[in-house]
Structure 1
């Protein structure tokens, strides 16, 4: 085989579908690949025919030019596929298996992996702990918004679906297992959501909606979602969430009181990250969400923070924010004895259990995030539509397998 089209970052605001070459079981030189990773042999890996691959809000940060991502980077870290080639050292994964790929690339051998902290694997990125497909500063591994992709450490990482026919029937739900569903669940779980909890979710994008659905699965008595986008808030209401339109209401405590009878929640989740906007028409104010969730979370509460924060943001509003320094009221969090949980989501801690929830019919994540299928050639428009704020989670179908 030789052909392989993929979605390529072409500079701020631009992506294109281009021929990127058929993958090998080796990491070749290319945009964003550290010298120490060039030529890395991956006989422990597989080649996947991509069945579904999703556009993520994290991808949008790069496409907007808000990171140091190099032009030519092949995008995409949410991957579900069929195994078409198996490396010499792979023992348990076989050709024909239908699998979900955790967005974290992890070796399974280092101390962090052995402690289930696969989001900070020590062996896959020479520049820093942790890695991902098609992402800036994450080791240079080629992204999966493509027809075919190479996945290393297959035996350790891949989640095999037990029945291919059943999996294809629920593929719009199962495609969310590579990132968005575990990420939303991680946010709710690390915030301490339990039966009866009242929860505030900052952001009604796909991750926020996934966190809201996850909070419901964990037994929350009330899930309140705040956002500036009324269309996305309507999507949150469609599966039973309360909502606050932050463009109309800047005093969140008052709105929470209207819903709960008191101005604070038990726990909160930040699903916005570093491109946060102030309430009303204030414009970008990157510390807004973190300060807000400290303000409206009870003493002793936990704050799950799966929203992305970066160390370099060329498009930031001030010099401090350009290097990831935000005006966070840490004194408030200290005084209220809050617990903060940050960082990438360790997908492998959750994806098998969430798969079972999907296959049993308990979890309805595709419905919650409004999964919308597009062709690979429609990816540039999908990025543009997603950036405009539509209440959709775009699922790319590179081979037309879902339409069949």
Structure 2
């Protein structure tokens, strides 16, 4: 049996790469594992040799100490890998398959899964619907920023790439299918982005950039990306987006300068609960800022896609209400403008096969859009630090050197 190494959360501001246990077909007790899941047998699972595993902004929320994540948690929910072993109940996935892993863990059997709502599966997290690898309060499934990882319900969850050699030629692009590309796409679909539409995307991190690329793929006429970080705004501009620097003031004025009017057809929140204010308040956290701005700048009758993460518990919040996920949202404004809002985890399986085809047939260059940057697994702490400092990159960990070989 091979060994295993994984990226471990060691407390606020600190991650380290440690030797971790090689996966088995039973959930064992450990940091973050829900007691009701301990001892759960997994004959339907597969063990993957990790080819690519990405650092996500959602991981950063935990590493900053902005959640109740326990010390010792193995991180990582964006996983692409090669199957090395399958449980006795796995029928269709085979050893040697190269696969993408949706970050949602879903059973495929419950009512929500059967309705395509795989982000809120009822059977994988004893506390509430919805689960993910290596994430706080998500059932305790071990994270995939590691050399090897276990994927339950393998026949249901895994997306097999049809041609392994061809997939390795585009592996950095395909690595975005686990989360940020479908998540950005879901934000745009939820907001009603279509041919000829104008869209305002709050946030130029990897999810915001993926949303911008998705909006262009969906036929948007104008994609406006807003952020405080010039380097990230330059990255958005590099593939055809207009940009708004919210540190300079009210986004409406800058939108009007771009469009000739102060409103857009569609709005996407790719920031979430650690939002800052605009203009003179841009150095201070104001967690409802993005949601309120989206309602302000989106036309009456428009829709808001909200893939940005909001949490039920934030120990580092700026006020007592926000510590419990309560924000001062101008719901009256949204009601008056008849806005539709879609929140929650992206149901990755709703989109990942189609987006895989778009990648394989050269309809989109998502790795280029998000500036995907491979680094070895042992450099994960550096990747986390630079990403937290605002680097305009999507760091992709390469546990076995397979990305370097493909390049």
- The interval holding the TM-score normalised by the smaller chain is over 0.9
- Please list, as runs of the form range in 1=range in 2, the aligned pairs for 1:56-71 lying within 5 A after superposition: 56-71=56-71
The superposition leaves residues 91-145 of structure 1 with CA deviations (integer Å, 9 ceiling, x where unpaired) of: 0000000000000000000000000000000000000000000000000000000
Matched residue, 1:392: 393
Matched residue, 1:379: 380
2:134 is the alignment partner of 1:134: yes
- Please list, as runs of the form range in 1=range in 2, the aligned pairs for 1:212-231 lying within 5 A after superposition: 212-231=212-231
The superposition leaves residues 8-55 of structure 1 with CA deviations (integer Å, 9 ceiling, x where unpaired) of: 000000000000111101111111111110011111000000000000
Deviation (angstroms), 1:376: 0.2
Deviation (angstroms), 1:251: 1.6
Aligned partners of 1:141 and 1:263: how far apart in 2? 45
Q: Judge conservation of contact 1:182–1:350 (CA < 8 Å) in 2.
A: yes
Matched residue, 2:23: 23
2:383 is the alignment partner of 1:402: no
Aligned partners of 1:106 and 1:281: how far apart in 2? 44
Deviation (angstroms), 1:280: 2.5
Q: Which runs of 5+ in 2 are unaligned?
A: none
Aligned partners of 1:103 and 1:18: how far apart in 2? 22
SS at match of 1:41: coil
Matched residue, 1:294: 295
Matched residue, 2:307: 306
2:169 is the alignment partner of 1:169: yes
The alignment yields a C-alpha RMSD, in angstroms, of: 0.5
Aligned partners of 1:262 and 1:11: how far apart in 2? 46
Q: Judge conservation of contact 1:2–1:21 (CA < 8 Å) in 2.
A: no
Question: What stretches of structure 1 move > 2 A for 4+ residues in a row?
Answer: none
Q: Normalising to structure 1: TM-score of the pair?
A: 0.99
SS at match of 1:247: helix
Aligned partners of 2:275 and 2:56: how far apart in 1? 16
Matched residue, 1:278: 277
SS at match of 2:80: strand
Matched residue, 1:264: 263
Aligned partners of 1:234 and 1:224: how far apart in 2? 12
Deviation (angstroms), 1:252: 1.2
Aligned partners of 2:142 and 2:251: how far apart in 1? 42
Q: Normalising to structure 2: TM-score of the pair?
A: 0.99
Deviation (angstroms), 1:253: 1.1
- Please list, as runs of the form range in 1=range in 2, the aligned pairs for 1:194-233 lying within 5 A after superposition: 194-233=194-233
Aligned partners of 1:309 and 1:375: how far apart in 2? 30
- Please list, as runs of the form range in 1=range in 2, the aligned pairs for 1:71-220 lying within 5 A after superposition: 71-220=71-220
SS at match of 2:300: coil
Q: Judge conservation of contact 2:180–2:210 (CA < 8 Å) in 1.
A: yes
Deviation (angstroms), 1:2: 3.9
